[in-house]
């Protein structure tokens, strides 16, 4: 399978410390380039469905202990629905694909003391043997490296408001343009510039599809006023999209935008005024760069008295369910 050939490629590629007579095997892999958990490794080698999960959402996206609870629940949703979860993080400088309960807990307790790790940060965290929580871009990178085609998150980064001046454009978007992994998200937060985010994804050649809806969702709310050209209505539709992307070797990612379930969608006006206030505070405090997203998430949660966190948790769980169904449908299609 392609996952297997990727694994054997990895063995050939990574040997920073060891002598060249180490031929690898999954034990040889562990502790060298990348540590793949036994469950994930096993699933990949027999072509079973695997779903990658990011870790910045745990460290920087939610407070303790809700972050640990949510991380565990996401893994449980993936398992219950027939796939193997693979949470990605860098622990003591070792990129890990698939975390044990102890490792998940460690990361959740570390919280923002873990380094927010986008693609550009990976080498530094590895070289200094640090603890890194991977964002969408870094999680896509490691998922692709080990052959996991599907990755579930809450929301992806985007073009920030005023991005035309600051050039603050999340590396999640360029990663989607260069890495063939399908990302399931509830769209893009309205604290970002959604129309420009979609323009940028088009420039990067990324297929953006809405799931069972016509309008691109805005994370807390089901609508954004923005349309995309592709709509999918079932896990099988998504699996065919991913299969075609793989067969054509387009080597670009796919973004599947799943709207927040109706019963959890926040009252648009409450969220919107909190977002406006948080954005103004960020400007007044001069919070920019990769500190902006975590600041806005935490502040909007405070300003809405926890309502935004509850919506956030609900939508990520829904994404995990949809993403798992897509992964299972894809495994069926390709086996």
Angle at 44 between CA 43 and CA 48, to 5 degrees: 55
Task: Tell whether residue 259 is a contact of ligand PSU (CB under 6 A).
Answer: no
Query: Which of 37, 44, 54, 145 is close enough to bind ligand PSU by CB under 6 A?
Result: 54
Burial of 248 (0-12, 13-18, 19+ CB in 10 A): exposed
Q: How far apart are CA 15 and CA 149, in angstroms?
A: 25
CB 299 within 8 A of CB 278: yes
Q: Give the up-direction half-sphere exposure of residue 198: CA atoms within 13 A in the CB hemisphere.
A: 22
Among 180, 172, 264, 165, smallest CA distance to 222 is for 264
Site string for ligand PSU, 217-236 (x = CB under 6 A): --x-----------------
Q: How far apart are CA 53 and CA 72, in angstroms?
A: 11
- Ramachandran angles phi, psi of 71, nearest 5°: -60, -40
CA dihedral 99, 105, 111, 117 (to 10 degrees): -10
| Residue 54 annotated to the active site | yes
Q: Which of 75, 116, 175, 189 is catalytic?
A: 189
| Residue 317 annotated to the active site | no
Segment contacting Mn ion by CB under 5 A, of 126-134, 145-153, 162-170, 319-327? 162-170
Q: How far from 136 is each of 20, 56, 151, 163, CA to CA, in Å?
A: 33, 8, 9, 19
**Measured from the CB of residue 143, what is the shortest distance to Mn ion in angstroms?**
21
**Measured from the CB of residue 159, what is the shortest distance to ligand PSU in angstroms?**
10
Task: Tell whether residue 107 is a contact of ligand PSU (CB under 6 A).
Answer: no
Query: Which of 61, 95, 217, 323 is close enough to bind ligand PSU by CB under 6 A?
Result: 61
Query: Which of 168, 215, 222, 237 is close enough to bind Mn ion by CB under 5 A?
Result: 168
**Measured from the CB of residue 220, what is the shortest distance to ligand PSU in angstroms?**
9
Task: Tell whether residue 57 is a contact of ligand PSU (CB under 6 A).
Answer: yes
Q: Which residues bind Mn ion (CB under 5 A)?
A: 168
Q: Which residues bind ligand PSU (CB under 6 A)?
A: 54, 56-57, 60-61, 118, 135-136, 154-157, 170-172, 189, 219, 290, 293, 297
Q: Which residues are catalytic?
A: 54, 189
């Amino acid at each position: 399978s392609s996952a297997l050939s990727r694994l054997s490629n990895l063995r050939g590629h990574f040997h920073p410390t060891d002598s060249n007579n180490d031929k690898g095997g999954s034990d040889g892999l562990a502790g060298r380039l990348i540590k793949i958990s036994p469950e994930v490794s096993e699933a990949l080698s027999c072509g079973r469905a695997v779903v990658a999960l990011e870790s910045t959402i745990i460290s920087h996206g939610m407070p303790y202990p809700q972050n640990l609870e949510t991380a565990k629940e996401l893994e449980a949703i993936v398992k219950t629905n027939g796939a193997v979860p693979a949470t990605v993080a860098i622990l003591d400088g070792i990129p890990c694909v698939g975390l044990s309960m102890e490792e998940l807990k460690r990361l959740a307790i570390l919280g923002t003391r873990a380094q927010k790790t986008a693609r550009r940060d990976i080498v530094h965290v590895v070289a200094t043997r640090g603890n890194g929580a991977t964002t969408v871009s870094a999680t896509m990178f490691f998922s692709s490296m080990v052959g996991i085609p599907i990755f579930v998150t809450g929301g992806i980064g985007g073009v920030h408001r005023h991005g035309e001046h600051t050039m603050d454009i999340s590396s999640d978007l360029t990663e989607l343009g260069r890495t063939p992994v399908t990302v399931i998200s509830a769209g893009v937060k309205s604290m970002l510039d959604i129309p420009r985010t979609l323009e940028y994804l088009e420039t990067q050649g990324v297929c953006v599809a809405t799931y069972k809806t016509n309008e691109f969702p805005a994370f807390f709310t089901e609508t954004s006023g923005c349309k995309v050209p592709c709509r999918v209505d079932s896990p099988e539709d998504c699996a065919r999209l991913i299969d075609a992307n793989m067969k054509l070797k387009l080597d670009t990612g796919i973004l599947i935008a799943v709207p927040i379930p109706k019963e959890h969608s926040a009252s648009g006006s409450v969220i919107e005024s909190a977002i406006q206030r948080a954005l103004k505070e960020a400007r007044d405090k001069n919070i920019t760069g990769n500190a902006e997203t975590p600041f806005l998430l935490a502040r909007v949660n405070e300003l809405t008295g926890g309502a935004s966190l509850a919506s956030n948790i609900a939508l990520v769980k829904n994404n995990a369910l949809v993403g798992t169904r897509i992964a299972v449908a894809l495994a069926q299609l390709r086996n």
